[in-house]
Structure 1
Amino acid sequence: MPLPFDTVGQAVGAATWLVGVVAERLIGDRAAAWAARHGVAQEEVARLRAELRRANLVLGAARAGAAGGRRIGNEQLAEPIAAVRRLAADARNLLDELDYLEIHDEIKDKVHNRCSPSSSKAQSIIRFAYGFANQTSKYISSAVKIPAMHNKEDYPSTSKRRFERHDIMNGIKRMKLTDSAGQTIPERELEGEAVSDGTPERNLCKDDISQRITIIVDQLHEICEDVRKALKQDKIDEITRLTNSTSTDSREEGACYTETKVFAREDEKNEIVKLITNGSASNQKLAVLPIIGNGGVGKTTFARLVYNDPEVKAKFDVGIWIYVSASFDEVKLMEEILQCISEGTHKSVTKNLSMLQDGIKKYLHKRFLLVLDDVWEENERRWEKLLAPLRCTEITGNVVLVTTRIKSVAKIASIAEQHINLGGLKEDVFWLFFKRCIFGDENYQGRRKLQKIGKEIATRLRGNPLAAKSVSTLLKRRLEEGYWQRISDGDEWKLQGDDDDIMPALMLSYNHLAYHLQRLFSYCALFPKGYKFNKEQLVHIWIALGFITDARKRPEDTASDYFDDLVDRSFFEKIEEPWEDSYYLMHDLIHDLAQSVSVDECLTLDGSGPVTVSQYVSHISIWTDAAYKKKQNGKIEHNETFDKGLTAIQDEDILRSLDSLVLIGSYDRTSSLSFAKILRQLKYVRVLRLSALFFSADILPSGIANFIHLRYLELRSTEDTLKCLPTSLCRLYHLQVLDVRHCCGLNDLPRDLCNLVNLRYLLVPESGTLHLHSKIVRVGELKFLQELKEFHVKPESGFGISQLEYLNEIRGSLRIFNLDNVIEKDETTYARIKDKRHLRTLSLSWGRTSVNFPKEALEGLEPHDRLEHLHIMNYIGVTPSWLGENITLKNLESLYLHDCTGMETLPPFIQLPFLEKLSLVGMSSLNEIKFDSDYASASRGSSSFEEDMSDLDDFALADIEICKCPMLTSLSLLSCKALTKLSIKDCVVLASIDGLQSLEQLTFCEIKECPCFPYSPDFERPFQRISI
């Protein structure tokens, strides 16, 4: 299949990346060790490694040739490069399978070596039997005659462990063990556990592995020769050195500029704000005001400025923002309007147009501002259906802002002549804006020669702010004349069309991205225009696909840095709204760029046109909402173009080679059979997002356990039929992210979830009284887990405190409950809380009624010294040393001690300079609270006192809550200069609070149920409340 030259260059880059990934994996010894254990010669693995290295050199030569301006004919290179990619993918998949079966063997070994009977009585008996094996030797020796081993190598360690356990278990069975009631313990309680049935087998015998490696090696050798001939290049090593020198081009990083949102648009903004708040629009029941302009001139930014203007916000009761794009569906738009204008109180769900219109009319007693962003619809009847119910109000001043590129849309939407035309910035103003983007200051006068070249570049940007932001990210990274001149003379400008064409400027920015950033950016073409990107989700997907190869630090950190690079280069824009979490948007023109550069690797099925499937396709997204379309007469019918596309991708060769399948949108029952067929044909998929399905049978196909390469799985269900994930899912040993946050009925997890040994994130619904993380049996086996929200200590197997021992990657917050189930004094040390240095919040809780636990249990739960928030509840033991006079938690920002009835002393809180919130509730043994040190108190009045207490000015404590402390007689707040809120309740012997009158920052003071505390009018100040 002939490809354009630039597409061949993209394919070369993709093949180089994939070959490098596979070669990197062969450096390790896991795959080689597994192959050796199964009788595969090391020479086979070495040959594959050598041929991949050779392929990398040849591909490097191709990239170097392209870098040197040598145009290679696509007929010569297209097929060989595609073949190299396929073979590299085959090698990667083979290594994945070897990895998978290696993990499977390890899990079987663990299960065989783990004695986990179903009853605690049986468990203690087995421990006794193992501990005193010498006393039961006669039973064991009668079970099996153990052959002598002359060399250690006669039996591999795993086989030896399995053999010994088998002998011991048989001997124990012969003992006919009984419990305390004299009942024989069933054999099933002595057998432990088994690996889940139905583990996918690939029948990987010695000959099969050798044959697959030989095929890959031989074909790679032959194809690389074809590439060499096409390049007509004999000096591979020399060109490879050229590749290294050009591909490692270091870019000077400049400071990120701060975009001035109102640059040169102040007059237009003031005009429309005045029109909305005090002009003619304020007297109409509904005014539709179009904002017209070409792509990239800042229509959305301008509309957002108006929308967030304080004067505008004060005018309207309800604000609604809807991104429309090409999919103008009046029914869906009305649904969104109804949900917003009713503030979520309208619960009925309907697709009936009349019912939606009636529903909107009921809530039109509030003045609203509606923004319809990026509208293309020119059908007057559809506009009238949308606007008709909005006019049925007695409230004047309602406004609809419409941003569009098309003047005819503005004429249809608004019968009035009022509109705002946004053109490109004038040449002199644009130059000032461009300078601000590059140098951070529009008045910058330095580097005269650079400014001269910059003006030449600016004239090609046609006054377009988006183009300016994009190109400026290149220029400011290298303030060098030669570099700027190369950009000014670049071939991209030769492709520029009419006066409004800024795509060459955007392509220029893309071409100057490092390859790893190009790859990450192009993948985003799978998502629809206007999609609200979640940074965390995108990071997880990139990692799952193997795009993040830098092993020097945590992959999430690397991917996050790469995403920030794309934001800095204006490929994404961060949106922060007061009513929802921040998200990122990609401008429509940037999205067009992503689609153009990913046209062969990424396929989007959105029903907008015929589908052409490339031989390079690796990622497919299906927008299920496109399954239907609305005709001009308003009738809804199935989208034949979508159906044809769905049929076109149901090719076995296409589906078996997919890395990603992403479903976006709502459920479509009529297409469910096609979806099921597609899922059955997937073989090597690594990212699977099923966000459009309702029923458990659809969401989890019976063969999901065959997706052994899967790294990222996201499931969404709007029904509550899915109560528990199936056990078959526990055989996806490569899985890194399991996202079931939107499975609303999920309330349990399979027992074998701990078999997902590569799992990094289990994202679950947050609703419910018991967090699903607490239901993971033997969570300690998930050593790569990055988040564990809750852990409940239980007496049964798999929930002991020692499960936390090796979970040192968990971060964020951790809540540990039922610590009263810790029996032994030193058992808490097994949790190794201090080693979990990424935790920021720690909550420790004992049962309210339990008294039979070690009084020093808290001593072994010392956190690391960077902890920021600590909560301790229902602890009846003594104060641990790490929370005493020499407290180690110097970075605490909040401390909550509730019902810790055994604690008699606490540290001087002046030792915690960052502490902002202190809550002490139910501290029945506490008789003193110190906010400064004993030394400071003793030194008051001395000449060195002011110097010694200089840190008091930095003491950040702003909020104190003290409740039910019956032994507290006095309190000194002289050190708490930053205190703004004080709440003291039910302290029956509290008689004095020293320094209360001097707290100048205090705005809220509440003292209740403290009968010994004397009330004084001197305490009262504005905004304070004192209750006695």
Structure 2
Amino acid sequence: MADALTSVLLDPLISITTEFLIQEVKLVKGVKEEVSSLKSTLVAIKDVLEGAEKKQLEDPRVRRWLDQLRDVSYDIDNVLDNWNTEILTSEIQKQNAPAPKKMVCIPLPSSSFCLSQPKKVRIFHKVAHEIKKLNETLERIDKEKRNYSLETTKVVPNKRRETTSLVDVSEVYGRDVDKDYLISKLLHDNSGHGGKVPVIIPIVGMGGIGKTTLAQLAFNDEKVLANFDERVWVCVSEPFDEIGIAKAILQELKESFQDLNTLQALLRRIRESIEGKKFLLVLDDVWTEDRQVWEQFIQPFRSGAAGSKILITTRKHKVATMMDIPTPLIINLELLSEEHCWSIFSQLAFFERNDEDRQQLEEIGWKIANKCKGLPLQAKTLGGLMRFKETKRDWEDVLSDQIWESHDEKNNHFAPFLLSYYDLPPLEKRCFSYCSVFPKDCGFRRDQLIEMWMSQGYLSSDENPENRGQNCFKNLIMQSFFQDFRKDDDGSIVGCKMHDILHDLAQFLTKNECSTMKVDEESTQPHIVEKVRHLTLLLTAYKVEFPTSMLNEGNLHSLFLFNSNWLACDLRLPHQTSGPLRYLRTLNMRKCGISWLPGQLIGQLRHLRYLDLSDNDRLEELPDEVCDLCNLQTLRLSLCFDLKRLPEGMERLVNLRHLHILGCHRLKGLPKGIGRLTQLRTLDRVVIPENNHEEYVSVGDLEKMNHLQLESEGPIWGCGNLKSLSEAEKLAGLMKRGNQVRLYLTFHSGHFNEMVSNDFVILEALQPRPRLKSLTIGSYLGASLSPKWMTSLHNLTRLQFRDCEFFDTFPPLGRLPSLEELVIKGNGELRKIGGEVMGITTTKSSASTSSRISSSDDDINAAKGGGGGGVHHFISFPKLKRLSFLHMSRWEEWDGCESATNMPCLDSLSMYRCDSLKSLPDFLKDTPLQHLNIVECRILSESFRRLGKEGAHISHVPTIQIDYKYMKRDGNWIENAFELDA
């Protein structure tokens, strides 16, 4: 940790030393020597840090010495940041004020700033005084290191095998018997348990043994899926928060609970939701041994149907004892065999190695794998470590490392993980340990994490810190520090979690530096440690006062406020709190129920780099003081639904790189000053203002921003406000600059009663990249929805037309070779859907139909690289699985084509308020349709009730719902879906 901190500081120190030396005027006596001395001492200390980090595990004195070094490192960082912030603030103020009489220019790495001579002298005097004090402290720490026999080691980059491929160990070894046994318990009736409902099945085992993995295998098994009406998975951890868990269960059940704030009310809603249903509830990572708490919590689940189960995972056998669970139902998870540990280890360690390497290293590998002691997580971690060890000597060094001989129980527990940690470069060590700020079981997104790392200065020495952060994130994944990956449409990892044990490791490494506290209406528990630098507050009550009095004096660099009360929270902010937060770099107040942001409070956070106010849906505006945050790099405002405007002075945010406003639907435009933010990289929502208001940024302004790239799923609002073809072409160019795979084009806001002829011209010009995977067109008021580029989207899997009121002609969507989902909502003109949408020119002339069919199929085969020669049969919508029509008031006819195969993969068809549709097409009888849902379609509903399944060509469909009632296989109607097989 200290190694990583000093590495972060050296580049800025070298920079500031250079700036002092460049000055020709002698401003402060001896300041240059003080800075140079500070740098030299820091370098000397850094040479012993690698050994000191390992020695602290056995020697508490070394740990205290490292804590002192950490504290002074933070103080140095604060001084350097004060220096840079003063200069930057002065430059921004100068741009809006008359030029001073005498100026002195100071070159900085990225630009040149000019200050008045008196201002510059005051800054130098203050910095010089602080550096002198820090130098004295650092020299004392340097002398003290001699007391601990710390060896000097030259830090050189670890020799690593060159590899760029990610390997996800998804295969589970050695748990087949356990899996089959668990599934049999879940599917078994209750006779062996005295008929009690629900049956509780605990999986008990030590950390890292695979309890959660086994539960996931059973939870997702097809037989289990078919056996229960409801399945719910909730992570519990410590403490056992009954209210939070109850709300999590209701959220999984898709039940409302915004109006419920007491445990009794929540449990009552749960009972109502599951009454008479056969459910499976998984409570992952249970620790509580409080019988009274458990009995109160479990009571509503007794209303479930026979066969309901609760599956818990726990490290403590006392938890199962407390629940009075019969021994036969307890699954005590055993350690894996050496062979199974070897399978996990070798899959990673020998990934991309040739047979010769494997033969040379296999004997040592078996000895290392035996160190896993039967724990799959340790096998995975060690395998990830050895994957990057090149030589036989490297492998022998790991096998003989002294950490295996530690007498400390905790060190033994962490040994494989500490080996992997110590093998990381300083940057990756720092970035991993910073993740201890997240609560256990909390998922985090890749981009957010990288922006947080950047805000702490870990990535600042690189010209492109985002790329450096992505490489760091990727390397931590490849060495198995993260798990439970979430991927985007391209298969890239965009989110993940940390295993509990690795979270424990991160907290162990950052003891006294990172801390997590629980805050309710009355107190904060436990009290905050004086030198905490990164603080996480878990808000557990509905109304919480910001704990100003509990914060330490000016030490915090990160403050995270996590709402553990789920949807309901009301955080009351103070008007100001200058001291405790004055050096804050990262502030996260996401989903805290904030309705206003005190300007005086926020304006004092001059060092802030990262501000997350996302998901505060009552926040209507930001104070103008936000624009005084000249160091701000990331501003997250996503899902602030009521936000009406952004501050006008945003051009002062000269370091802003990432602006997230996705879901801020009430914004009528973006401030003009955004167009002058030369560092801006990310904008996840473009708003085109009405009538070209000069107060808002234009498409032309955005197009001139060289670094700006639209997010992969960023919507573009107000396309109908574009006034010319040239503006539309500029927007199209901006779209192509990003990495968009999901595109949302909204043309107008509000309700319109007439067509807009210009909309089609704009739509034609907004040609997206062919690699697009999802496209939504909303509030489009043109008469045609057939731009030339539509059928060139060969990778498109999801297409939606929402509230496109007036179009009456479709593009030939049936020719899209990858389309899996099609949604058409809100049209008052369309009367017939026929051959044109299926991809066929006409259905009347057999000759022309045949000709068009051949051409269409050639297009599809060409898109797949198949050439298309000799194709004689056309498949319309070859991959479509889900089809929905909603609010199609005048739609009367729907035809297919007898000469083509129509929708051969169709699984689900939904129709809502299509009152004029007379019948379903004949071709549905030849599709593999499994689910049909028809709601408030008057003519169709009457026809079904009169003719039944046979008359509607859907006799083969197993699940049919008409106006919220289900049709059974015998043709009778029932109220509930779970009665279908009765």
Q: Secondary structure at the match of 2:458?
A: coil
Amino acid at match of 1:523: Y
- Other-structure match for 1:310: 222
1:522 aligns with 2:522: no
User: Which residue of structure 2 aligns with residue 205 of structure 1?
Assistant: 119
Compared with structure 1, are the counterparts of its residues 601 and 1019 closer, same or farther at alpha carbon in structure 2 (3 Å cutoff)?
closer
Asked if the contact 1:687–1:713 (Cα under 8 Å) also holds between the matched residues in 2, the reply is: yes
Equivalent-residue separation in structure 1 for 2:602 and 2:239 (angstroms): 33
| Structure 2: runs of 5+ lacking an equivalent | 106-114, 842-846, 915-919, 930-951, 955-982
Query: 1:316, 1:369 within 8 Å by CA — same for their partners in 2?
Result: yes
2:672 corresponds to 1:681: no
1:47-78 superposed Cα distances (whole Å, 9 cap, x missing partner): 79866764564344344776999999678876
Return the offset for 1:540. Answer: 2.4
Q: Which residue in 2 is equivalent to 1:125?
A: none
Residue 451 of structure 1: CA displacement? 2.3
Tell me the SS of whatever aligns to 2:737: coil
Query: Match of 2:447, as an amino acid?
Result: E
Which of the residues 601, 605, 609 maps onto 1:707?
A: 605
Q: Provide the C-alpha distance between the structure 2 equivalents of 1:76 and 1:278, rounded to a whole number of angstroms.
A: 59
Aligned-pair CA distance for 1:918: 9.8
Alpha-carbon deviation of 1:671? 12
Tell me if 1:621 matches 2:543: no
Which of 325, 331, 334 is 1:420 aligned to? 331
- 1:274 aligned residue (173, 176, 184): 184
| RMSD, aligned α-carbons | 5.9
Q: Provide the C-alpha distance between the structure 2 equivalents of 1:447 and 1:821, rounded to a whole number of angstroms.
A: 63
* Code of the aligned partner of 1:210: F
Instruction: Say whether the 8 Å CA contact 1:856–1:877 is kept in structure 2.
Output: no
Judge conservation of contact 2:589–2:614 (CA < 8 Å) in 1: yes
**Which residue pairs with 1:171 in the alignment?**
none
CA separation in 1, counterparts of 2:141 and 2:323?
57
CA distances 1:694-721 after superposition (whole Å, capped 9, x unpaired): 4546x5363211112212122367783x
% identity of equivalent residues: 24
Matches within 5 A, 1:6-155: 10-21=1-12, 23=14, 54=40, 57-63=43-49, 79=68, 82-106=71-95, 108=96
Cα distance in 1 for partners of 2:333, 2:662 equals 44
Q: Note the C-alpha offset of 1:493.
A: 0.8
Mapping for residues 434-583 of structure 1, pairs under 5 Å: 434-439=345-350, 447-495=358-406, 501-549=412-460, 551=462, 553=464, 555-574=465-484
State the secondary structure of the residue aligned to 2:690: coil
Amino acid in the other structure paired with 1:812: S
Aligned 8 A contact 1:955 1:978 in 2: no
Asked if residue 953 in structure 1 is aligned to residue 861 in structure 2, the reply is yes
Q: How many residues align?
A: 865
CA distance in 2, matches of 1:329, 1:210: 52
Q: Which moved more, 1:311-320 or 1:43-52?
A: 43-52
- For residue 265 of structure 1, the aligned residue among 171, 175, 181 is 175
The 8 Å contact of residues 650 and 678 in structure 1, kept in 2 or not, is answered as no
TM-score (norm 1): 0.69
- 1:486 partner letter: D
**1:843 equivalenced with 2:834 (yes/no):** no
Runs of 5+ consecutive residues of structure 1 not aligned to the other structure: 1-9, 114-152, 158-200, 629-637, 959-971, 1010-1014
C-alpha separation in 2, matches of 1:477 and 1:775: 47
- Say yes or no: does 1:384 pair with 2:295: yes
Q: Is 1:367 equivalent to 2:367 in the alignment?
A: no
- Rounded Cα–Cα distance in structure 1 between residues aligned with 2:248 and 2:735: 48
Map of 1:409 onto structure 2: 319
Contact 1:330-1:385 at 8 Å conserved across structures: no
How many Å apart are 1:383 and its aligned residue?
A: 2.2
**Separation in structure 2 between the aligned mates of residue 471 and residue 286 of structure 1, nearest angstrom:** 40
For 2:410 and 2:73, the matched residues in 1 are separated by 42
**How many angstroms apart in 1 are the aligned matches of 2:79 and 2:199?**
60
2: CA distance between counterparts of 1:297 and 1:956? 45
1:997 counterpart = 2:900: yes
Q: Which amino acid aligns with 1:516?
A: L
1:478 is displaced (CA, Å) by: 2.0
Compare 666-675 and 539-548 and name the one that shifted more: 666-675
Amino acid corresponding to residue 997 of structure 1 in structure 2: A
Q: If you compute each CA radius of gyration, which structure gives the higher value, 1 or 2?
A: 1
**How far 1:598 sits from its partner (Å)?**
1.0
Cα distance, 1:489 vs. partner?
Answer: 0.7
Query: Distance in 2 between the 1:863 and 1:49 partners?
Result: 54
Cα distance per residue 1:794-853 (max 9 Å; x no partner): 222134443332243223355555556555665555657257511523637478858797
CA distance in 1, matches of 2:484, 2:74: 35
The letter for the 2-side match of 1:534 is R
Contact 2:103 2:116 in 1 (8 A): no
Q: Note the 1:665-814 alignment, pairs <5 A.
A: 665=563, 681-691=580-590, 693-694=592-593, 696=595, 699-700=597-598, 702-715=600-613, 720=618, 722-741=619-638, 743=640, 745-753=642-650, 755-764=652-661, 766=663, 770-772=665-667, 774=669, 776-783=671-678, 784-795=680-691, 796-799=693-696, 800-807=698-705, 808-813=708-713
How far the C-alpha of 1:775 sits from its partner, in A, is 5.0
- The amino acid across from 1:712 in the alignment is Y
> Deviation of residue 996 (structure 1)?
3.6
**Which whole-Å CA distance do the structure 2 matches of 1:1004 and 1:489 have between them?**
58
2:979 aligns with: none
Structure 2 CA distance for partners of 1:682 and 1:1005, relative to 1, 3 Å: closer
In the superposition, the TM-score normalised over structure 2's length comes to: 0.72
Contact (CA 8 Å) 1:908, 1:932: kept in 2 or not? no
Contact 1:667 1:693 survives alignment (8 Å): no
CA distance in 2, matches of 1:949, 1:724: 53
Kindly state the Cα deviation for residue 586 of structure 1 after the two structures are TM-superposed.
2.1
Q: How many angstroms does 1:349 deviate by? A: 0.7
Distance in 1 between residues matched to 2:259 and 2:206, nearest whole Å:
39
Contact 2:728/2:766, CA 8 A, preserved across alignment:
yes
Residue of structure 1 in register with 2:942 after alignment = none
Q: Deviations over 1:442-473 (max 9, x none)?
A: 99997345222222223332111111111111
Cα deviation code 1:161-184 (max 9, x no counterpart): xxxxxxxxxxxxxxxxxxxxxxxx
- CA spacing shift, 1:356–1:458, aligned 2, 3 Å: same
AA at the equivalent of 1:665? N
Q: 1:1026 to 1:211 in 2, by over 3 A?
A: farther
Deviation at 1:430, TM superposition (A): 3.1
* Superposed counterparts of 1:910-949, under 5 Å: none
Aligned-pair CA distance for 1:771: 4.8
